């Protein structure tokens, strides 16, 4: 009789599996094709099939001429590569059912597995997700409804690979730079305008994502949270005719858009009002406010950390692709000298608080299948790495923890002398490109830079040239910011060449 031994998860032949008849003390090893030939076994005899790294299997021979046996692996290993050029992808996430791990610097991974099969999700910043069902399971992966595949995912693939300890698989992910624009929370009160923005995104030849406030600049939420603190402080906006976050996600999915959920963290008037003990305070115990009169919550307080982690877990469960942290820092303006913290406000204390918060946030939320991003001031990539600019925000602390770093490289926020330019606002291409390159140089491999670009106070040519700058600087996509969510559709159309835009900008400035 002929026995073929295969892997139960990837259905690949298993060489060097031992096939034995214990009653006779007879055994042999399978060939490279997973095949072993047995001489005249008798019906009713026990066949034992074993292989290192697999659960042994005993079968009663029933007289079959050919028998296919699937062994269940105890681990699955492999590597993740770029589908375009075959480069290994370090720090990629590999999920098998409830288990997960990250690839090493060579793109390699190994995970324990249980059962006869399962679902595999592989994701890396800047790439389309790959999802497969392994083994005999015919049920769809649990992520199908949450993470629809973009068109680029058609170029992802999985195949068995030869290795010392099978089963091993090679997984290729297709690059997928996300290009998006910002939609503020308040616009959810205007359903028609939301549809207009999403249609504009879907009709654009370049836009494939949107950034939506799920927790806005005042601390209001875009969904009705079940968190006790959110309920107590009345964080939900409670607008009767607003587009719900669930509806927004559904509308975005139908248009094939990647959804980034922006969460404003420590600038939070709603939480400060409802939990005054958690607010940043003055020496007399009254709430401190920034230059615009907005209260903040204390970045040192772990109750504040726990609140935001709980909210983010709810948002992840709703099905966003990415959660983006903004205002993950101490205040930068207002009467900072009037602030009274319950501990000494030193560089070490500030940076430790921000680093530990982001670390705990990422550890709790990222395993739910979402990417994590952080917004930082554009200048953070230029100051000496150890400087926190008195706000606790350093690339060296935050960058290695997240999937995407998004420096806000708005040229209008740089002052004369920054980057060696007499008027940085007059040099949008130089500011964005050089800042993107600088950010990339400060990050470990596997962390992507997706900058915020300026969609206000500029001509169309000045806005468009920032797209060139981000691309030329090596960004993994880009995002345009306009606080009111007002955009010229031409900003998201075909991109004129760099020389043409430079000429238009020069002519516009020369006009009376």
Contact assessment for residue 98 and residue 112, using Cβ atoms and an 8 Å cutoff: no
Count, residues in the chain: 512
Which one, of 199, 197, 198, 150, lies nearest residue 176 by Cα? 150
Contact assessment for residue 77 and residue 94, using Cβ atoms and an 8 Å cutoff: no
Q: Mean of the per-residue pLDDT values for the chain?
A: 93
Sorted by sequence, the CB contacts under 8 Å of residue 352 that are 6+ apart come out as none
Alpha-carbon torsion 314, 315, 321, 324, what sign? negative
Residue-level pLDDT at 42: 87
Residue-level pLDDT at 240: 81
375 CB neighbour count, 10 Å cutoff: 26
Residue-level pLDDT at 353: 98
Q: How sure is the predictor about 447, in pLDDT bands with cuts at 50, 70 and 90?
A: very high
Angle 161-100-102 from CA coordinates, rounded to 5°: 70
Enclosing H/E stretch for 281: strand 281-282
Phi, psi values for residue 332, rounded to 5° = -115, -10
Q: What is the mean pLDDT of residues 126-144?
A: 72
- pLDDT for 22 beyond 70: yes
How much of the chain, in percent, has pLDDT values that exceed 90?
81
Three-state DSSP class for 87? coil
- pLDDT for 146 beyond 80: no
In whole angstroms, what separates CA 222 from the centre of its chain? 20
Q: Exposed, middle or buried, 333 (CB in 10 Å: 0-12/13-18/19+)?
A: exposed
The model's pLDDT over 423-438, given as tens digits with 9 standing for 90+, comes to: 999 999 999 999 999 9
Angle 202-435-329 from CA coordinates, rounded to 5°: 85
List, in order of start, the domains of the chain with CATH numbers. Answer: 2-71 (2.60.40.1120), 75-173 (2.60.40.1120), 178-510 (3.20.20.80)
* Of 273-277, 325-329, 365-369, 478-482, the least confident: 365-369
* Strands laid side by side in the 2-7 sheet: 35-37, 2-7, 66-71
Flag whether the pTM goes above 0.85.
Answer: yes
- Tokens 């995104």 -> residue: 201
The model's pLDDT over 148-193, given as tens digits with 9 standing for 90+, comes to: 556 555 678 888 888 878 888 999 999 999 999 999 999 999 999 9
Residue 12 CA: distances (Å) to CA of 20, 51, 78, 454: 21, 14, 14, 51
Strand partners for 110: 77
The model's pLDDT over 185-234, given as tens digits with 9 standing for 90+, comes to: 999 999 999 999 999 999 999 999 999 999 999 999 999 999 999 999 99
Three-state DSSP class for 394? coil
Contacts 24+ apart (CB under 8 A), 228-234: 229/271, 229/274, 229/275, 229/307, 229/310, 230/307, 230/310, 230/311, 232/274, 232/275, 233/270, 233/271, 233/273, 233/274, 233/275, 234/270, 234/274
What span, in angstroms and rounded, lies between the C-alpha atoms of 144 and 130?
11
Residue-level pLDDT at 142: 52
The model's pLDDT over 274-312, given as tens digits with 9 standing for 90+, comes to: 999 999 999 999 999 999 999 999 999 999 999 999 999
- Tokens 């595949």 -> residue: 149
What span, in angstroms and rounded, lies between the C-alpha atoms of 231 and 229?
5
What span, in angstroms and rounded, lies between the C-alpha atoms of 171 and 83?
8
What span, in angstroms and rounded, lies between the C-alpha atoms of 117 and 10?
9
- pLDDT for 145 beyond 50: no
């Amino acid at each position: 009789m002929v026995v073929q031994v295969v892997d139960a998860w990837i259905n690949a032949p298993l060489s060097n599996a031992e096939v034995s008849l214990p009653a006779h003390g007879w055994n042999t090893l399978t060939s490279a094709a997973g095949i072993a030939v047995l001489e005249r076994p008798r019906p009713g005899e026990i066949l034992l099939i074993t292989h290192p790294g697999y659960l042994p299997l005993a079968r009663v021979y029933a007289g079959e001429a050919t028998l296919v046996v699937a062994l269940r692996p105890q681990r699955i290993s492999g590597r993740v590569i770029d589908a375009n050029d075959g480069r290994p992808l370090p720090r990629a996430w590999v999920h098998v059912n409830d288990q997960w791990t990250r690839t090493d610097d060579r793109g390699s991974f190994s995970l324990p597995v249980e059962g006869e099969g399962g679902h595999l999700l592989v994701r890396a910043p800047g790439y389309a997700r790959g999802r497969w069902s392994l083994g005999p399971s015919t049920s769809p992966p649990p992520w199908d409804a949450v993470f629809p595949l973009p068109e680029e995912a058609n170029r992802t693939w999985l195949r068995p690979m030869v290795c010392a300890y099978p089963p091993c698989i090679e997984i290729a992910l297709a690059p997928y730079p996300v290009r998006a624009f910002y939609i503020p929370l308040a616009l959810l009160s205007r359903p028609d305008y939301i549809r207009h923005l999403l249609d504009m995104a879907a009709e654009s030849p370049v836009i494939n994502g949107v950034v939506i406030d799920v927790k806005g600049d005042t601390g209001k939420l875009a969904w009705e949270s079940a968190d006790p603190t959110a309920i107590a402080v009345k964080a939900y906006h409670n607008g009767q005719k607003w587009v719900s976050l669930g509806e927004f996600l559904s509308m975005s999915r139908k248009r094939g858009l990647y959804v980034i959920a922006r969460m404003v963290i420590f600038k939070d008037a709603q939480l400060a009002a409802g939990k005054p003990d958690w607010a940043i305070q003055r020496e007399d115990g009254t709430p401190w406010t920034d230059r615009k009169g907005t209260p903040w919550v204390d970045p040192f307080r772990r109750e504040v950390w726990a609140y935001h982690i709980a909210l983010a877990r709810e948002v992840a469960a709703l099905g966003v692709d990415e959660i983006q942290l903004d205002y993950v820092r101490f205040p930068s303006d207002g009467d900072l000298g009037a602030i009274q913290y319950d501990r000494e406000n030193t560089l070490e204390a500030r940076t430790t608080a921000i680093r530990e918060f982001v670390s705990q946030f990422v550890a709790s939320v990222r395993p739910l299948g979402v990417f994590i991003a952080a917004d930082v001031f554009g200048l953070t990539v230029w100051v000496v790495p150890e400087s926190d600019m008195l706000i606790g925000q350093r690339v060296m602390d935050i960058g290695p923890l997240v999937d995407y770093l998004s420096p806000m490289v708005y040229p209008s926020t740089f002052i004369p002398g920054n980057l060696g330019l007499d008027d940085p606002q007059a040099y949008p291409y130089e500011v964005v490109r050089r800042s993107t390159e600088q950010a990339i140089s400060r990050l470990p491999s596997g962390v992507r830079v997706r900058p915020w670009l300026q969609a206000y106070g500029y001509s169309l040519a000045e806005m468009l040239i920032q797209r060139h700058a981000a691309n030329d600087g090596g960004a993994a996509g880009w995002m345009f910011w306009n606080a009111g969510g007002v955009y010229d559709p031409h900003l998201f159309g075909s991109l004129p060449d760099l020389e043409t835009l430079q000429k238009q900008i020069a002519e516009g400035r020369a006009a009376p």
